[in-house]
């Protein structure tokens, strides 16, 4: 599958986490990521 790839690494990682959050429960790592924003 092809996902949009923002040029900045933070944007790419954020998109990947958001995709994961669509079908997985909130995990400590994802909560920490959201808290850093």
pLDDT tens, residue by residue, 1-37 = 566 655 678 887 888 877 777 666 666 776 677 776 6
Supply the pLDDT for residue 20: 76
Cβ neighbors of 15 (< 8 A, separation 6 or more) are 3, 4, 6
Q: How far apart are CA 31 and CA 15, in angstroms?
A: 14
Claim: this prediction has a pTM higher than 0.85: no
Query: Residues 9, 37, 22, 15: what is their CA dihedral angle, to the nearest 10 degrees?
Result: -20
pLDDT reported for residue 9: 80
Q: What is the predicted pLDDT for the residue at 26?
A: 61
């Amino acid at each position: 599958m092809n996902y949009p790839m923002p040029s900045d690494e933070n944007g790419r990682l954020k998109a990947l986490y958001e995709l994961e959050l669509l079908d997985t429960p909130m995990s400590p790592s994802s909560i920490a990521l959201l808290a850093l924003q």
